[in-house]
Amino acid sequence: MNPLAIREDFPIFQEKINGHPLVYLDNAATSQKPRQVLDVLRRYYESENSNVHRGVHTLGTRATEAYEGAREKVARFINAPSPYQVVFTRGTTESINMVAHGYARAHLQPGDEIVLPPSEHHSNLIPWQQAARATGATLRYLPLQEDGSIRLADVEAAVTDRTKVVAIAHVSNVLGTVNPVREIAAIAHRHGAVIVVDGAQSVPHMPTDVQDLDCDFLAFSGHKMLGPTGIGVLYGKPSLLAEMEPTYFGGEMIDIVELHESTWKEAPWKFEGGTPIIAGAIGLGAAIEYLSNIGMEEIAKHDAHLADLTVQRLAEIEGVTVYGPGPGKPRAGLVTFNLDGVHPHDVATVLDAAGVAVRAGHHCAQPLMRILHVGATARASFYLYNTEDDVDAFVAALKQAKEFFGHAIG
Ligand SMILES: Cc1ncc(COP(=O)(O)O)c(CN[C@@H](CS)C(=O)O)c1O
């Protein structure tokens, strides 16, 4: 895998930031887009644009074939048995909300439990708070180890016959921990529970096989994996999608509409009310082709290598706290840190002056910030177009920030 050659495909790396080359290390928030995706979007609007599924004219056929072809690409990418198990949504947040509202609420009652870690992103935490509040079910939080990891023994202890839903990120967007989803799914299934996997930080960065994981639902976003904003995916097992109710209603999704009641199409279309996210889906299909040509194993190794290198380099700087797995322990391609005594927003501002883009804040994980006893953190997150030179530039800018804020250079 040659990140320097890959960078040539991404126009944005021609940008100068405050007079410096762009060092983009905010990939957990959103990824940059290759020309191959941008060209497909332009070509769609220039030669295929039409609404889908209804028109009998040529453009409508072209657009429908492109849209449903994108669904097939997603299914292959996550090894789903059928494209009919792939629902297009606006993103991870909408996907998880659809499960919480359309499936969980119909299956939860007082005394039932939803098991999840407290480190979850708000998009995989608040929908479950709302579902618990609406049904009388209760949230049961898993304990975290010092490095943020989750022990299977604690999952075994927490998941009981009262558990109806286990909700968990495959990769934490703050800690970079990779959770043992396959084993957790087996525990959930032994107790008759379903597992909802938040794949926002895993699907873009590593091979994902929903049949191997045996997850019941998987949610992820296209904009984090070289695709456009506004497109995401909800994968579900056929029997669960069949019994799951749509959460919004209108055109496209219906079978028969009477004055007082209506029936729906089969999944996935019953969940895709209104004009679907046609261009977004086609763009996601192009992004998946781009990623697949490079190989997800290669990308996973590359991202993890840059994160490991960063953890090693930060360990050499006195006054820097790194959160998540320690040196040498498995970590996905992101590193969350703080410069002791300096607000992460100030750190990120100084880094930006040097062209280095990192994220600062609570990363939509406020309960986890409290567990870490911090109000906010900074985060560097890597992808296929980042290089070791990016890590060098980041570390050099962080040392400048340290000097600027009055710390002696360690
Ligand atoms: C684990 C996880 N789960 C859900 C989401 C939401 O994805 P959407 O595409 O916004 O729906 C995200 C997006 N996390 C961004 C924005 S806070 C981050 O900077 O970490 C995520 O990381």
Probe residue for ligand 1, chosen from 24, 92, 96 as the CB with the greatest number of ligand atoms within 8 Å: 92
Probe residue for ligand 1, chosen from 24, 123, 225 as the CB with the greatest number of ligand atoms within 8 Å: 123
Identify the DSSP state of 333.
S
What count of other Cβ atoms lies within 10 Å of the Cβ of residue 311?
20
**Average of per-residue pLDDT across 329-333:** 92
Residue 50 scores a pLDDT above 50: yes
Q: Can you give the residue ranges of every domain in the chain?
A: 1-24+295-405, 35-291
341-364 confidence digits (pLDDT tens): 999 999 999 999 999 999 999 999
Burial of 402 (0-12, 13-18, 19+ CB in 10 A): buried
CB of 123 closer than 6 angstroms to any ligand 1 atom = yes
Cα–Cα nearest to 16, from 403, 400, 355 = 355
The pTM of the whole model exceeds 0.95: yes
Complex ipTM, two decimals?
0.99
Length of the chain: 410
Cα–Cα nearest to 318, from 337, 340, 287, 291 = 340
In contact, 253 and 270? CB cutoff 8 Å? yes
56-111 confidence digits (pLDDT tens): 899 999 999 999 999 999 999 999 999 999 999 999 999 999 999 999 989 999 99
CB of 167 closer than 6 angstroms to any ligand 1 atom = no
**Average of per-residue pLDDT across 384-399:** 98
For residue 364, the ligand 1 atom closest to its alpha carbon is 17
Distance 92 CA to ligand 1 centre (A): 7
pLDDT band at residue 330, thresholds of 50, 70 and 90?
confident
Residue 410 scores a pLDDT above 50: no
Distance 216 CA to ligand 1 centre (A): 20
Return the CATH class of domain 1-24+295-405: alpha beta
Cis amide prior to 268 (ω within 30 degrees) = yes
- Per-chain mean pLDDT for the chain: 97
Q: Could you give the CA distance from residue 72 to residue 6 in angstroms, rounded to a whole number? A: 25
In contact, 6 and 27? CB cutoff 8 Å? no
For residue 169, the ligand 1 atom closest to its alpha carbon is 1
Return the CATH class of domain 35-291: alpha beta
127-142 confidence digits (pLDDT tens): 999 999 999 999 999 9
In this predicted structure, what is the pLDDT of residue 406? Answer: 83
Q: Which member of 364, 371, 374, 396 is catalytic?
A: 364
Q: Please say if 364 is a catalytic residue.
A: yes
206-257 confidence digits (pLDDT tens): 999 999 999 999 999 999 999 999 999 999 999 999 999 999 999 999 999 9
